[in-house]
Amino acid sequence: MPSEIFGLPLHPLIVHATAVLVPLAALLVIGVVASPRLRAWAGPLPMALSLVALILTPLSTSSGENLEHQVGESSLVEKHAELGDQLLPFTIALFVLSVAFWWVDRRRTAATDVSTPAHTSDAGTASRMRTLTIVVGVLALVAAVGTSVQVARIGHSGAKAAWSDTGSASG
């Protein structure tokens, strides 16, 4: 991966996309779990944004490693890199659970739809699908909140690393 584009370090460019799209994906997942109306409108959009978040995560860490070699090591940069390396499991969980919630909710809707054949619309199946939808929804909410918190922690540590010596020179 190149370390620069048009003379600018690639890491801040990718990271700003990550810092916007990862929380946006998380918020959309929270929204579709909490709101059937938003769920009907959004369709597969939460999955698509979660996939973009998942793709951006290793791009961010890879470009960050390139930049780390250029700026040298410090405890703040090291802390930021450690936090950044921890984001991938969060975005994997967000993506997997957004797909799982979409799939389970579609199955639940089909199981309770009066136009489906009688063997798929019995009360036991509908009850199990409702319970499964709730469980997967709660897990998706946990993943979305955890992902958002981790992005905030990474962003805060990155800002501290980038701006720690700004303003420290006496004027």
Q: Is the pLDDT of residue 46 over 80?
A: yes
Q: Is the pLDDT of residue 146 over 80?
A: yes
Tokens of 34: 């909490």
Q: Is the pLDDT of residue 82 over 80?
A: yes
The dihedral formed by the CA atoms of 39, 43, 44 and 45, expressed in degrees to the nearest 10: -80
Of all residues in the chain, the percent with pLDDT exceeding 90 is 55
For the residues 44-59, what does the mean pLDDT come to? 96
For the residues 106-135, what does the mean pLDDT come to? 77
